[in-house]
Amino acid sequence: MTFGRHTAFIVTSTLLLTGLGLVYATGGTMYAFTHLLYVPILFAAIELGLPAGIITALLAGLGLGLIPANVAAGEPQTGLAMSVRAFAFLAAACITGTLVHHFRRQQVRVQNGFVESVAALVNALEAADDFTGGHSQRVSEIATTVAEALHLPPEQVEVLRIGAMLHDVGKVAVPGQILAKPGQLTAEELRIVRTHPEVGDRILSALHHPQVEAIRDLVRHHHERLDGSGYPDGLAGRKLSTLVRILSVADVYDAMTSPRPHRQALSEAEAMAELASEAEAGRLDHLAVQTLVQLVQTEGKRWEIDSLSELEA
């Protein structure tokens, strides 16, 4: 369980003051209640980090220094007792804060390692195909540029960057000859291609990431449409998050402006007109389309990333 920084600060202060109050109320520092002060120290080191743990340890040591060893008899503490206690408090804060910091860094490395492995798998999958090379990398770039233009919070842009990189990972389960087939797909082939959002969602169920649900939502729903005509769940309207809407627009734009086995790439102007008509028909998000059109037509944005050079970089 993790707390927000504000809540963690309030909890630490409350635990600290309560601990000091209990030590005083129960007769002084000669009783074992001084050990209660480890609670706010460890809590601060875990929730707020090493510096906060050290500050709490110092405050606990100073606070206890003001309480007599025996309140009723007015007997003061010895300097040795105060020093040993302060040293123990600081040691507890330092060890806990360092261990938690190390553990969290490892956790982030494992999370990033998984995301990078799956992204490498997607890159390799696309690099082997003349038509989809670099697709996911470009979609990720396009989607994050649109999200930034819409001033979404950086954490959401990061979720979108990862989700877009991984959105087609489920295509590992689609036979290559179907993906590269020139001409129309049969109904059965289309059914197989359309399993890729669900397969991708299942692959990512092993992902350990604080935003795993949002990433899986992007992967599972990037082919949904606002009017409910998409797949796999036929979600419509508000059930599609802002990030999913942006990803769908970026995905469609890149697919239209890239050559496919059964058709030539559309020109930029044709792609823009097609996106606008999809938004008009209520299938794609108006704001996301407008933002992309603005970026391409007014600001001259281009995304031409070669998958092989990306892999070498």
Sign of CA dihedral 63, 65, 66, 69: positive
Nearer to Fe ion, 251 or 285 (CB): 251
Q: Tell the smallest beta-carbon distance from residue 275 to Fe ion (Å).
A: 15
Nearer to Fe ion, 217 or 251 (CB): 251
Phi first, then psi, for residue 70 (nearest 5°) are: -130, 105
Residues present in the chain in total: 313
Measured between alpha carbons, how far is 43 from 18 in angstroms, rounded to an integer?
Answer: 14
Q: Tell the smallest beta-carbon distance from residue 147 to Fe ion (Å).
A: 17
Q: Tell the smallest beta-carbon distance from residue 252 to Fe ion (Å).
A: 9
Letter string b/e over residues 54-68, b meaning 16 or more CB atoms within 10 A of that residue's CB = bebbebbbebbbebb
How many Cα atoms are found within 13 Å in the side-chain-facing hemisphere of 295? 21
Which residue is catalytic, options 171, 181, 239, 301?
171
Q: Tell the smallest beta-carbon distance from residue 263 to Fe ion (Å).
A: 16
Nearer to Fe ion, 43 or 253 (CB): 253
Nearer to Fe ion, 47 or 224 (CB): 224
Letter string b/e over residues 107-123, b meaning 16 or more CB atoms within 10 A of that residue's CB = eeeebeebbeebbeebb
Take residue 190 and report the two structure tokens written for it: 């289309």
Instruction: Provide the 8-state DSSP code for 260.
Output: B
Nearer to Fe ion, 168 or 217 (CB): 168
Q: How many CB atoms lie within 10 A of CB 25?
A: 10
Q: Tell the smallest beta-carbon distance from residue 108 to Fe ion (Å).
A: 27
Nearer to Fe ion, 20 or 218 (CB): 218
For this structure, is 171 an active site residue?
A: yes
Task: Name the residue among 220, 224, 259 with its Cα closest to residue 245.
Answer: 224
Task: Name the residue among 8, 13, 11, 5 with its Cα closest to residue 63.
Answer: 13
Which chain residues interact with Fe ion by CB under 5 A? 168, 251
* Contact by Cβ (8 Å): 248, 224: yes
Phi first, then psi, for residue 54 (nearest 5°) are: -65, -45
Enzyme catalytic residues: 171
